[in-house]
A and B are shown apart, each in its own frame.
Chain A
């Protein structure tokens, strides 16, 4: 079992960050590697169980299912149904926590999955850095206080 953990601090209130990322269909807006996304079967994007079907900028399609969504905890859990990455039993959770000191947000993104032996490091790196950290960096840019 590979575990990936990435966390960051976003200089914006948690509610504002949550409003920006809550939409399960909004990955293209804030995750740099994602080009376009749609929700299958015409379901609302906050219906638990819905499936997002998105394409990556470097090519490839991923299908992910929403397993849990909490407007109270500011958290979202989802699994990968299909992807070209070669991950098995992939479940990830994105969670925001308000930082009372400075009205900022502590953002955490965890993923657990299995894969072919020998690919653990490469996949952990591409998920942790290539996707999660890159998305955090983008969020910081998008939500940075206007100067």
Chain B
């Protein structure tokens, strides 16, 4: 007895797929092989026992009867009553299941039947390919919006809305020229609908990072004025363009990526850098966490894989990335030394896993690190300060240590002398987050690792400064004045 099974994943919520499939009489609307279907005897298409009488495009006339229908299980079973094709005792079941991971739908379509001897393979192939495969691809195309249906059919109400063509009014922080914090001014703008591969987002929280200062001043050539700075935000998807898979309107998402433009309330951007947020990660946490958390992830797990027992030196240990580095390195079993600028910051760093906070003013931390490591130095040093601090860091490095320069808040990371490295067999890295997150699969892996540790309360993300979007200048002044601890967010 031939058995045919087809299953697939549809990038649409189960309600939308069910809305398209549930009507036993609607297959002439969506199945390319079916024309002119009607329900016999004036029964409703969802009445058990209802018979659909329909013709195939090749002229064959069939009658099929509804045997079970379940809105609870998203499933229906039917049999063939009359058919010119010798499918004897044909019973088929369609079942949908929710893919909770990504709000997609698993679709299973299977049947068993008998055939005259010798026709098993041919008829199984016909059912599988011409009926099931063709039908599945038609529904996939329908729900992706590339085919339009007559609007009168009520069963279509659950179909995912596509991008409206209208631009939307928005507010954005625009800098007219590179310069100081006073250049950050809010302007009314208009946000275009998403094009192919893009999504439009209503942002609810925006992360403020030191890189935004470099962008504002022009130190990093990432923005040609006039333009909007910002690399990181969270919010809700309004609409998506053609070809976007895995992201649906209504999804809560977050991102941390170039190009700049996050300081606004509505934004259209590439969808492949968006991460769908788990239910237990709120928007503010995500906005505070994506860039800094994924930075900590690649620094501790990829640029250098911190091992149990290693000694790690974290500069700016009370800052946004610093606090995460301390917590995570401690969780990995490292001894964590941190440099901070004040006694209050030392307390904060200690609360977040820093074993030895060193309060210093101008790069005089080397002696303290040496003392804390009994003259050995640190196995790995995370230096986001740059400038002259890097030379001090090198002095505090253990033999065969790894000096990771990941930012230049205190001045450019000058050319490094490879010959000098030999005095300690040192490794020096100058990694950049966005090279690690450029591949969407890697991005999702990194963000999932971060969310997982937040969920397990290994990482706590204290948001200590909240500003209105209009007060972005104030946020930058505080950040540059070294007056902040933890994370800073803008709330549109």
Contacts and interface: CB of A to CB of B under 8 A. Distances in A.
Decide if A and B are genuine partners: yes
Given A129-B455, A133-B278, A8 B101 contact: yes
Contacts of A101: 6-9, 136
B280 A99 contact: no
Interface of A is mostly: mixed
Contacts of A100: 5-8
A136 interface: yes
A106 B97 contact: yes
B330 interface: no
Interface of B: 5-9, 97-102, 104, 106, 108, 136, 278-280, 441, 445, 448, 452, 455-456
B13 to A, nearest CB: 13
A5 B98 contact: yes
Contacts of A119: none
Given A99-B7, A99-B9, A104-B9, 15 more contacts: A5-B98, A5-B100, A7-B97, A7-B98, A8-B101, A9-B106, A33-B456, A98-B7, A99-B8, A101-B7, A101-B136, A102-B8, A106-B97, A130-B455, A136-B101
A101 B104 CA distance: 15
Contacts of A33: 456
Given A9-B9, A97-B106, A129-B279, A144 B441 contact: yes
> Size band of the A side of the interface?
20 to 34
A97 B448 CA distance: 24
A116 interface: no
A134 B101 CA distance: 10
Contact of B456 (A8, A58, A106, A108): A58
B9 A7 contact: no
Interface string A88-131: 00000000011111101010100000000000000001001110
29 contacts: A5-B98, A7-B100, A9-B99, A9-B102, A32-B452, A33-B456, A57-B456, A58-B456, A97-B7, A97-B106, A98-B7, A99-B7, A99-B8, A100-B6, A100-B7, A100-B8, A101-B6, A101-B7, A101-B136, A125-B279, A125-B280, A129-B278, A129-B455, A130-B456, A133-B100, A133-B101, A134-B452, A136-B101, A147-B441
